[in-house]
Amino acid sequence: MIALALGLADGFAPRPGYSLRSAARAPLAYSTQAHNSLLLRATMLEVQDVETTTRELPFYARETQPLPLQETADLPLSSEDYQQPQGVTSSALAPKEEENKFVEFAALGTWIAGLSSFLLINNFVGPWPAALLQAIPVKYFGLTHAVSGMLFGGGIILTTLIEWLATNSKNADVLNFYFDKVPALDALVVLPALTASILSGVGLSVDHYDSLGQAPFHVVGAISTLLAFAAWWAGTDLTTQGAAMEAIEEWTLGDTENTDVPRIVQLRKISNVVSCLFVAAIYGFMVLKPGYTPPLVV
């Protein structure tokens, strides 16, 4: 009976290299090369050469083994294991940031120069481009001027109020969100609206008075104030958005509860107030029409 039990145990024994866990997962199979004793099988399970003992096993029955040192050395490091090399600092990114700032300033300068040239030509030379300004119906100029003026003035006043509330809250999340979204708002709403307002205003002047140079004072004053606002806004608001965002990011890394918001954010509040005064002056020219006397109707 003892011999029969040992024989049955040898017939159903796993092949060399199986662990208890892998043997439970692997399909049951008969081994023609079974060892003659349980002691020999236990010895084989403790063999250290895992690669040799598991090579003959099915892929689904093999144990996951750690890779040798020379193999793991070639694997890419995770972000948690990465350490910045000695001597490499964030200042290596400075040239790219400086290049982006140069491109931004160049684009703003080109925009201001283009609008200024357009106004100077129409004021001192004559309608330009005359064919285009005369071909567009005046009602389209009027609609564009009304909608763009609303978006431009409303955008400036609304962003000013939001920035004041965000600054006074001293909430790092709110400030980071605001300064992350305000450049997109300016680029998509305020900047196109300001440009369209100036262009459509010149178109209305050409239709009503033949040229911008012959228009009454309130027309020239409103358009000139628009251009002055564009220069002020570009020089004090658009150019400080990036610096304010960087200052807020550094401020959030420190003790935000016991320190005031960065100085550049506080100075932007003054710039925003002046921008709102420009908007009020523009609407004052358009509505009050100082120095304008309507012609008598006979």
DSSP 58-120: -TTTPPP-PPPHHHHTTSPPPTTT--PPTT--GGGGHHHHHHHHHHHHHHHHHHHHHHHHHHH
Residue whose C-alpha is closest to residue 232's, from 178, 167, 156: 156
Helical ranges in 237-260 per DSSP H = 241-252
Q: Mean pLDDT by 10-residue block, N- to C-terminus, for the chain (298 residues)?
A: 45 45 42 45 49 49 50 47 46 64 85 92 92 92 96 94 92 91 89 94 93 92 93 91 91 86 92 95 93 72
Q: What's the rounded Cα separation, in Å, for the pair 218 and 291?
A: 7
At 257 the pLDDT is 82
pLDDT score at 104? 80
Residues 6+ apart with CB under 8 A from 21: 63
* Residues 125, 140 contacting (CB under 8 angstroms): no
What pTM was estimated for this model as a whole? 0.65
How far apart are alpha carbons 261 and 45 in whole angstroms?
Answer: 67
Distance CA 116, CA 64 (A): 72
Residues near 175 by beta carbon (within 8 Å), at least 6 away in sequence? 166, 167, 169, 248, 252, 261, 265
Whole-number pLDDT of residue 296: 65
What percent helix, strand, coil does the chain show, rounded to 5?
70, 0, 30
What's the pLDDT score for residue 44? Answer: 54
Domain boundaries, the chain: 2-68, 100-288
For 28-73, what is each residue's pLDDT tens digit?
444 444 444 444 454 555 544 444 444 554 544 455 555 444 444 4
Closest CA to 29 of 57, 64, 65, 51: 57
For the chain, percent of residues with pLDDT exceeding 70: 66
Amino acid letter, residue 273: V
